[in-house]
Amino acid sequence: MGFISKFNTVSWYLRRPRYYPQLFSLVKNRVFGAQKLENTRKESEQWCQERSMTTYNFFQKIAPNLQFKKVEENFPDDFAFAKSKEEASPVKMGGAGNIDLIYNLCEHIQAKKAVETGVAYGWSSLSILLSLEKRNDTLLISTDLPYAKMNNEDFVGCVVPQRLHSKWKLVRDPDRVALDTVLSEIGTLDLCHYDSDKSYAGRMFAYPKIWKALRKGGILISDDIQDNIGFKVFCERIKMEPYIISFENKFVGVMEKN
């Protein structure tokens, strides 16, 4: 990142006081952070590859009797609506990710209270909400920090149809501002999909809070765990053996609290 780009990023944050905690965290991590831990992609990729399995094999292992469903095939109208919204968006954000994994995990544990960090278009939000829609007294709270300088605020969560908004609360703040409040508000947490700050420091800030909030039998899903050893280190600290799912040349980590 060049000087001008860095300057523009800092200026974007400075114009938004509510995001100052995130800015301070970025600066602190840049100046004082353990960069050796951030730059551990090779080690993390090898660790993931040694343990990885396909989405299908994962469900055969943990829930062999589950009737696995593909979101695109079982919700064709919602999927088509979502694709049209993504394609119409003038701001390009991250892709859909492994929405079948997320949806079927929600079904497997019959999730009622869920949290996700990082929204972008809202594909993971959609997959969670399509499951929550089937049950009463359900809620998804999502936190999202808009992309610096991209002016994407109006398109965050745009693929989620209006009928699902009654079970959805979108908090437009970064984890360091919103996470404690969100976890306190939702109470008993069945599932969390972590897809926000994927730095080592960001993961080590959020994972312990999320894990503490999960009920027994609750699920933590974390995307892009190959980026650094944050997920690996956290698993070792709590003495949990995770499931690692390979998907589109990336890895998703899943842990069930027992």
Mean pLDDT of 99-121: 97
Mean pLDDT of 99-118: 98
Structural domain range at position 118: 41-256
Evaluate whether residue 240 is within a structural domain: yes
Whether residue 169 contacts residue 139, with contact meaning beta carbons closer than 8 Å, is answered with yes
- Quick one: which of 241, 250, 238, 248 has its CA closest to 61? 241
Mean pLDDT of 27-32: 60
Mean pLDDT of 28-54: 83
Say if residue 5's pLDDT is above 70.
no
Question: What would the pLDDT profile of 126-152 be if each residue is shown by its tens digit?
Answer: 999 999 999 999 999 999 976 655 666
Mean pLDDT of 160-184: 95
pLDDT band at 94 (very low <50, low <70, confident <90, very high): confident
CATH code at position 102: 3.40.50.150
Evaluate whether residue 213 is within a structural domain: yes
Whether residue 208 contacts residue 236, with contact meaning beta carbons closer than 8 Å, is answered with no
Query: In Å, how far from its chain's centre is CA 191?
Result: 11
Q: Is residue 217 helix, strand or coil?
A: strand
| DSSP code, position 100 | H
Give the Cα separation of 190 and 212 in Å (integer). Answer: 11
pLDDT band at 14 (very low <50, low <70, confident <90, very high): low
Question: What would the pLDDT profile of 50-62 be if each residue is shown by its tens digit?
Answer: 999 999 999 999 9
* Average pLDDT of the residues of the chain: 90
Evaluate whether residue 160 is within a structural domain: yes
Evaluate whether residue 23 is within a structural domain: no
Evaluate whether residue 76 is within a structural domain: yes
Mean pLDDT of 15-22: 67
Evaluate whether residue 219 is within a structural domain: yes
Express as a percent the part of the chain with pLDDT over 70: 84
Question: What would the pLDDT profile of 208-249 be if each residue is shown by its tens digit?
Answer: 999 999 999 999 999 999 999 999 999 999 999 999 999 999
Number of domain units in the chain: 1
pLDDT at 203: 95
Q: Which helix (H) or strand (E) holds 120?
A: none
- Quick one: which of 245, 256, 221 has its CA closest to 57? 245
Evaluate whether residue 32 is within a structural domain: no
Evaluate whether residue 30 is within a structural domain: no
Mean pLDDT of 65-80: 97
